[in-house]
Amino acid sequence: MPKREDPDRHPDALPRDRRAAVAEALARLAPRLPEFEADAVLDRAMRSPGLRGAIPENAAWLALTAFARHTFTEYDDLLDEGYDRDSARHFVLDDMNAVLAEWGCRRRVSEDVPEEPDGFPEDASEA
């Protein structure tokens, strides 16, 4: 993974590749995200067919929220118990936002803002 901050790099310089662009967006979005978790978010963003055409900032946000939802909440357990996706998301909203806050992310997930399902097409969300 490229360095999260490069003091010699001009802020308007274009990144070398898509992964680097998403990594830079992710570093701005969640500056305290541990590097090993940033790698997992980036891998998720790069594997998702639904995020390949997204601008880096959107790809980073959607991959980050999907990672937080599936890794740090009871979301998957709620789905396994028979809750529909919207209900499960409602119940994990506070946990997701707490995780995002720990990572230094100022943006929050809201029930009022429609979001792509898990940030990925149905078949890619389990990856």
- Answer whether residue 83 is part of any domain: yes
- Answer whether residue 57 is part of any domain: yes
What mean pLDDT is predicted for residues 27-31?
Answer: 98
- Answer whether residue 77 is part of any domain: yes
- Answer whether residue 94 is part of any domain: yes
Share of the chain above pLDDT 90, in %: 72
- Answer whether residue 4 is part of any domain: no
Q: Measured between alpha carbons, how far is 15 from 23 in angstroms, rounded to an integer? A: 9
Q: The tokens of 79 are what?
A: 């789905």
pLDDT in tens, 48-104: 999 988 999 999 999 999 999 999 999 999 999 999 999 999 999 999 999 999 999
Q: Domain of 23?
A: 18-124
- Answer whether residue 11 is part of any domain: no
State the pLDDT at residue 121. 36
Number of domains in the chain: 1
- Answer whether residue 2 is part of any domain: no
